[in-house]
Amino acid sequence: MSVSLTSAPSPVSAPATGLTAERFAAHLAQQAPLPAWWLDAKQVAWERFRALPLPTRTDEHWRFSSLKGISFDGYDLSETPASAAPHLPAFPHTAQIIYSNRQVIGRSTVPAELTAQGVLFCPLDEALREHGELVRTHLQKHPAALGGDKFVALNTAFAASGVVLYVPKGVEVDLPFVVQHAITGERQAAFPHTLVILEDNARATLVEFFVSGDQRTHLAAGVNDLHAGAGARLTYVGAQSWSDTTLAFQSNSIVAQRDARVLALNVHLGGRQARHESHSRLLGPGAHSEMLALTVAGGTQEFDQRTLQTHAAPNTSSNLLYKNVLLDTARTIFSGLIVVDPDAQKTDAYQSNRNLMLSDTAEANSLPGLEIQANDVRCTHGATTSRIEPEQEFYLESRGIPPKKAAELLVIGFFEEVLNKLEDENLHAVLRDLIEAKFKAK
């Protein structure tokens, strides 16, 4: 059932379904205890979401994307968390926050010695209440410029779940902070917003899992703001395994100041149609951004990945490696752009998209782009699309490994190049298991 926005409110107070004006008003009322600037931002975002058109054919940011599957109609926001939350992989960590249908259902405390040093790892609403100014100065300060404005506006309008990780100057944390966002129930939606602030010379890892608690239809529109101060080292891992009927969107913004190093790895396994936008801005000399992604596309799934590497300061470097494995009639789109500003001399930028085709009906689209306005640079990009080398398959089969297993081993091998860039062995193993599980299910 859907409620028209123009009709008068029904006298019977049945809960409105869909992301309607009534639903937004109700959400805003729930958020009332939070700072006024936050409520204003939500109001602006809601109006922006309503005003912005859906992406069209002529929008270059949406070239090759399937547009007819994009609709926000009929999704709902459950006020109660699902009784059974999906399993969260166990591995050594510093602290965890677990969300189910936008409610915190589990939380482990940050070790006292880190809290004493000023480390903050808490749900978004808590951060808004207790550290409002910190959130305000960093939230969406550098939004990704990749065409997903309508989704980002929707996220801001309804954002309630999400975490803030703040690590003060010089503090180094070895084990990762872990977050899980789960959606359960027919046509349920989530709008996670993650904010990571590493001050100068700080070091930390944040791992986020996005999962569906069942195989029903979900909507996910997430946004990340990742800030790495001068000399900071930030590792971010996002792994999504939404249900195969989920419409998923995620916007990643990475800002690296002088000599900062950021590594962001995104693993894409689920969703009917999943779009991921990632924008790295290298703002200080010596900054480095490592942008990595692994995708297993099966069935009729579509994975749409858009990236931007903006080199705005001299002597910065970036390295992008996006690997896709395609099965069945799946589609992938990789559209990447390296932008080198006129002053960003001595930039060293690399961008590579590798597509491994395991099916004769899958489709891989690559749009690797460059926009270079400085001459003393080293910028290269490459894109390849091919099948498994028959020699490699033959080698494994000649040693008695059955064809299916051989293909699986070769795919895992294809992904290892990326997974090996993670320093955390346990995390590496968790992600490999996750990918293998999807691949075995196929």
Partner 1 sequence: MADTEILGTDSAVENPAVGIDQSVGDFTYDVKYEFDAGSGLNEGTVRYISSVKKEAPWILDFRLKAYQTFLDKPMPTHWATKDLESIDFSKIRYYLSQGQKPKRTWDEVPDDIKKTFERLGIPEQERKFLAGVEAQFDSEAAYSNVKDIVAKQGVIFLTSSEALREHPELFRKWFGKVIPTSDNKFSALNSAVFSGGSFIYVPKGVKVAMPLQAYFRINAENFGQFERTLIIADEGAEVTYMEGCTAPKFSTSTLHSAVVELVALKGAKIQYITVQNWANNVFNLVTKRGLAMEDAEIKWIDCNIGSRLTMKYPGVILKGRRARGEVISIALANDGQHQDTGAKMIHAADETTSSIVAKSISVGQGRSTYRGQVHIPKHLKGCKNNTECDALLINSNSRTDTYPAITVRGDRHAVQHEASVSKVSEEMIFYMQQRGLTEAQAMSLAVNGFVNDLVSQFPMEYSVELKRLIDLEMEGSVG
Q: Which residues bind partner 1 (CB under 8 A)?
A: 58-60, 63-64, 342, 345, 355, 357-387
Nearer to partner 1, 200 or 363 (CB): 363
Nearer to partner 1, 222 or 368 (CB): 368
Handedness of CA 73, 78, 84, 90 (dihedral sign): positive
Nearer to partner 1, 60 or 113 (CB): 60
**Minimal distance in Å, beta carbon 145 to partner 1?**
16
**Minimal distance in Å, beta carbon 89 to partner 1?**
31
Q: Which of 110, 200, 84, 91 is nearest to 163 (CA)?
A: 110
Q: Which residues contact 274 (CB under 8 A, 6 or more apart)?
A: 240, 242, 246, 247, 248, 249, 250, 268, 301, 302, 303, 304
Nearer to partner 1, 80 or 375 (CB): 375
**Minimal distance in Å, beta carbon 148 to partner 1?**
17
Nearer to partner 1, 214 or 363 (CB): 363
**Minimal distance in Å, beta carbon 83 to partner 1?**
43
**Minimal distance in Å, beta carbon 386 to partner 1?**
5
Nearer to partner 1, 9 or 369 (CB): 369
Nearer to partner 1, 191 or 439 (CB): 439
**Minimal distance in Å, beta carbon 142 to partner 1?**
23
**Minimal distance in Å, beta carbon 292 to partner 1?**
20
Nearer to partner 1, 18 or 368 (CB): 368
Nearer to partner 1, 162 or 314 (CB): 314
**Minimal distance in Å, beta carbon 225 to partner 1?**
28
**Minimal distance in Å, beta carbon 411 to partner 1?**
13
